[in-house]
Amino acid sequence: MSYPAALYFGERGLPTAGYRPAGQEPELRIGEGGTEVSYLATGATTGGLFGLYRWDMGSRPSGPSAHYHRTMAESFYVLTGTVRLFDGATWIDARPGDFLHVPPGGVHAFRNESGEPVSMLLHFAPGAPREGYFEELAEIAESGRTLTAEEWTELYRRHDQYMV
């Protein structure tokens, strides 16, 4: 394997790094006492290279059912707590330091069933605009709106999420 093609051709580096202090408030809250999402690096801020989100789940059971993506890989890195990760075949009780990488087309899911808060990093490559999907989920939860099966399918399709 070799390095990818160059993305920068200048003779000197640029002062373009982005810093996010640890205490910054999350950009999104999904459900009352539920999940907080911090947009560490979005596809827009990385030029489409990747997206990185801190996913802090409350103590109530939550998480998506088994699904896959066609356009991106997704990875999970557990920071605190115990989260159940599905690798397409087996549910794994993942703990701090555990990592799961899912290539495009790989079936996966995650759930917090521990009764305790959980924190993890979600990484998408390339950097799809996942924050739009997360924000739609938050709006649905906050409004109490009920979607039909067809509306869920359309929402998932628009955001490269194919339920299994």
Residue 113 Cα distances to 15, 65, 78, 94, angstroms = 43, 13, 14, 11
Rounded-to-integer distance, Cα 35 and Cα 109, Å: 16
Give the mean model confidence (pLDDT) for residues 133-140. 96
Q: Are 118 and 110 in contact (CB under 8 A)?
A: no
* pTM for this prediction: 0.94
pLDDT at 34: 86
Handedness of CA 110, 58, 129, 145 (dihedral sign): positive
Quote the pLDDT of residue 31.
85
DSSP H helical ranges for the chain? 130-143, 149-158
Whether pLDDT at 32 is above 80: no
The answer, yes or no, to whether residue 96 has pLDDT greater than 90, is yes
Residue 53: its H or E element? strand 51-57
Contact by Cβ (8 Å): 71, 160? yes
- What is the model's pLDDT at position 146? 95
Residue 4's pLDDT band (boundaries 50, 70, 90)?
very high
Q: Give the C-alpha separation, 66 to 89, whole Å.
A: 10
**For the chain, what percent of residues have pLDDT higher than 90?**
97
Q: Which whole number is the average pLDDT over 116-139? A: 96
Domains in the chain: boundaries:
28-163
CATH of domain 28-163: 2.60.120.10
Q: What percent of the chain has pLDDT over 70?
A: 100
pLDDT in tens, 81-90: 999 999 999 9
Cis geometry, peptide bond prior to residue 126 (ω within 30 degrees of 0): yes
**pLDDT (mean) for 96-112:** 98
